[in-house]
Amino acid sequence: MITVVITTWPNHPRRVSYCEQTLRSLQRNLSATGHELRWLLSAESQAAEDAPWSGPMLQERAERLGLQVQWRDAPPSLPGHLNDIVRSLTTPLWFYVQDDWELIRPLDLGPAADLLLARDELGGVRFWANTGYVGQFEGFAVVDPAAAWSYGDNPALWHRRFFERVGPFDVGGWFGHHEEAASARWGTSGLCVLADPAVQRHAAHYFFHLGEMSSIPGDVRFGHGERRRDAAWQRIEPDCVPKTNAAEWHITYRCDLACTNCNRLCFLPPTTPDMTLEDARDFVRQAKDLNWSPELAILGGEPTLHRDLFELLAIANELSPGRVTIWSNGFRADARRQLDRIRSEGLAQICEGTLKPSGSIIHPQNDFFIAPMDFNVPERTPCFLHCRSGCGVSVDSGGYTLCPLGGAIDSVLDTKLRTRRLADLFDPVFAQYQTRAMCRLCGHELHIDSLRISQSQVLHGSLMSPTWQQAVHRIHKCRQQREPSP
């Protein structure tokens, strides 16, 4: 059993945004093969008269995510807080992370936990550290405790024994004093600190640091002179809720064509099933509850392959009469017959620009499947297609996303970023979370350079970086296992 401890400072309402981003990403990406995780959100600081306090808001959100919450009822102090945490632990291992470290890719603590439990000379494994590597230890990197702060707010898996051998964290002194003082004691403790090999190559391999301590307006532990916002804080501000008043219904990801670079990856076998009539009705119900009547594009995949297309059009017209469009490739004779009927009965406008009478085409936009995070670019702004600027939200049988391509991205990469609650897309905290997590998987409009191209591969005629290559191979493998060749 491992306790995941997330420390937060609820001394500004905006901090909620950081914290929720961190919590959601940990819940999505953190696992520990062979071990159980229990979760604890705890506050390092306490409410103070001269600073706003978002504790109740954070507590409600954390509890909604199923986290146990514990506030520190003592003067604000990181070392004092850490001491309290370690003393109250009921598990031998604890994974420590502050509330502004977003876990940007899957991390399995299992191997590091096994090693820590088996070897008495080890105290912890860090998952963010960029200095002081002095050797190798069973596949992990050894960190020199004198060269880098041994503990502190960087994400790390600690064994409780380091506390017994090194002693409690030093309370008092200037900020960082407790870390330096403890680092000095590490040397004589005989305990070793390791680092995951991936962070030796790139410190931010697993975690992206959302903010800086000094970026918290009203932080009770600092004088007014030091209360400033920095660029990192401003950077996570973009308003990501829908603005274009449009939704794109991906009623099927099946397609009779296989265009190169199709941005819904319809050259692959579909991993999300067709939308049902109930899926469509559920969207309409939720949109009406929100008093939202978007323009609707019916597409896919190839929408004319859906056996219930006409019923779906009727449901769409119930929500947005006269504002329904269909995007079809119009390739098969049957597709053209259906489009003629839709035209003559006035069920939707036919988008003439999408027709592909000669079959599959090569789309010139070829930068979608180049994941920035594969190239150590964990942060990017959304492109024009995002529903805050250019296109509609994505709707499919797996849920809703703010990027029109989001359903396809989630479908292929299995990110679990789709939500079935339409209202989530209008929640600025959720909108920002989903957007950031999705956009770092997509290279659209990032101007792919020769380095990224050289480290990518062409699959199905389309350029793909390692994250996408792995997903495509996994999909083909699953498909082969389900359908063994005769």
Ligand X SMILES: C[S@@+](CC[C@H](N)C(=O)[O-])C[C@H]1O[C@@H](n2cnc3c(N)ncnc32)[C@H](O)[C@@H]1O
Contacting positions for ligand X (CB under 6 A): 255, 261-264, 299-302, 327-329, 354, 363, 365
* Cα(268)–Cα(322) distance, integer angstroms: 33
Please, are residues 415 and 395 in contact by the beta-carbon 8 Å criterion? no
Residues 350-379 that bind ligand SF4 (CB under 6 A): 356
Count how many residues are written for the chain.
Answer: 486
Residue 204 or residue 257: which is nearer to ligand SF4 going by CB?
Answer: 257
Residues 206-265 that bind ligand SF4 (CB under 6 A): 255, 257-259, 262, 264
* Cα(247)–Cα(316) distance, integer angstroms: 11
Instruction: List the single partner that 365 binds among ligand X, ligand SF4, none, CB under 5 to 8 Å by kind.
Output: ligand X
Please, are residues 443 and 369 in contact by the beta-carbon 8 Å criterion? yes
Residue 6 or residue 265: which is nearer to ligand SF4 going by CB?
Answer: 265
DSSP SS3 for 65: coil
Q: Could you tell me which stretch among 42-50, 140-148, 268-276, 296-304 binds ligand SF4 (CB under 6 A)?
A: 296-304
Instruction: List the single partner that 442 binds among ligand X, ligand SF4, none, CB under 5 to 8 Å by kind.
Output: ligand SF4
Instruction: List the single partner that 261 binds among ligand SF4, ligand X, none, CB under 5 to 8 Å by kind.
Output: ligand X
Residues 399-438 that bind ligand SF4 (CB under 6 A): 403, 405, 438
Residue 327 or residue 400: which is nearer to ligand X going by CB?
Answer: 327
- The residue within the footprint of ligand SF4, chosen from 211, 242, 301, 303 (CB under 6 A), is 301
Q: For residue 31, which phi and psi values (nearest 5 degrees)? A: -140, 170
Instruction: List the single partner that 328 binds among ligand SF4, ligand X, none, CB under 5 to 8 Å by kind.
Output: ligand X
- What count of other Cβ atoms lies within 10 Å of the Cβ of residue 303? 27
Instruction: List the single partner that 61 binds among ligand SF4, ligand X, none, CB under 5 to 8 Å by kind.
Output: none
Residue 129 or residue 373: which is nearer to ligand SF4 going by CB?
Answer: 373
Question: Shortest approach of ligand SF4 to residue 331 CB, angstroms?
Answer: 7
Which amino acid is present at 399?
G
* Cα(230)–Cα(213) distance, integer angstroms: 10
* Cα(329)–Cα(259) distance, integer angstroms: 10
Q: What is the 8-class DSSP label of residue 260?
A: B
Please, are residues 363 and 259 in contact by the beta-carbon 8 Å criterion? yes
The reply to whether 195 sits near ligand SF4 by the rule CB under 6 A is no
Question: Shortest approach of ligand SF4 to residue 302 CB, angstroms?
Answer: 6
Please, are residues 116 and 25 in contact by the beta-carbon 8 Å criterion? no
The reply to whether 298 sits near ligand SF4 by the rule CB under 6 A is no
Beta partners for 250? 299
Question: Shortest approach of ligand SF4 to residue 402 CB, angstroms?
Answer: 7
Both tokens of 193, joined, read: 């600190």
Instruction: List the single partner that 405 binds among ligand X, ligand SF4, none, CB under 5 to 8 Å by kind.
Output: ligand SF4
Residue 22 or residue 328: which is nearer to ligand X going by CB?
Answer: 328
DSSP SS3 for 181: helix
Question: Shortest approach of ligand X to residue 105 CB, angstroms?
Answer: 25
Give residue for tokens 């559920």: 282
Residue 213 or residue 355: which is nearer to ligand SF4 going by CB?
Answer: 355
Cα–Cα nearest to 321, from 344, 349, 341, 299: 349
- The residue within the footprint of ligand SF4, chosen from 76, 124, 211, 300 (CB under 6 A), is 300
Residue 67 or residue 370: which is nearer to ligand SF4 going by CB?
Answer: 370
Question: Shortest approach of ligand SF4 to residue 463 CB, angstroms?
Answer: 14
Contacts of 210 (CB under 8 A, 6+ apart): 18, 21, 22, 100, 101, 102, 232, 236
Please, are residues 35 and 70 in contact by the beta-carbon 8 Å criterion? no
Number of residues that bind ligand SF4 (CB under 6 A): 23
The reply to whether 266 sits near ligand SF4 by the rule CB under 6 A is yes
Question: Shortest approach of ligand SF4 to residue 258 CB, angstroms?
Answer: 5
* Cα(251)–Cα(396) distance, integer angstroms: 6
- What count of other Cβ atoms lies within 10 Å of the Cβ of residue 212? 14
Instruction: List the single partner that 403 binds among ligand SF4, ligand X, none, CB under 5 to 8 Å by kind.
Output: ligand SF4
Q: Could you tell me which stretch among 52-60, 167-175, 335-343, 383-391 binds ligand SF4 (CB under 6 A)?
A: 383-391
Question: Shortest approach of ligand X to residue 301 CB, angstroms?
Answer: 6
* Cα(294)–Cα(7) distance, integer angstroms: 40
Q: What is the 8-class DSSP label of residue 270?
A: P
Residues 315-354 that bind ligand SF4 (CB under 6 A): 329
Please, are residues 115 and 138 in contact by the beta-carbon 8 Å criterion? yes
Question: Shortest approach of ligand SF4 to residue 244 CB, angstroms?
Answer: 12
Residue 290 or residue 458: which is nearer to ligand X going by CB?
Answer: 458
Q: Which DSSP string corresponds to 373-429?
A: GGGT-------TTSTTTTSPEEEETTEEESSTTHHHHHHHH-----BS-GGGGGSHH
Instruction: List the single partner that 283 binds among ligand X, ligand SF4, none, CB under 5 to 8 Å by kind.
Output: none
Residues that bind ligand SF4 (CB under 6 A): 255, 257-259, 262, 264, 266-267, 300-302, 329, 356, 382-383, 385-386, 403, 405, 438-439, 442, 444
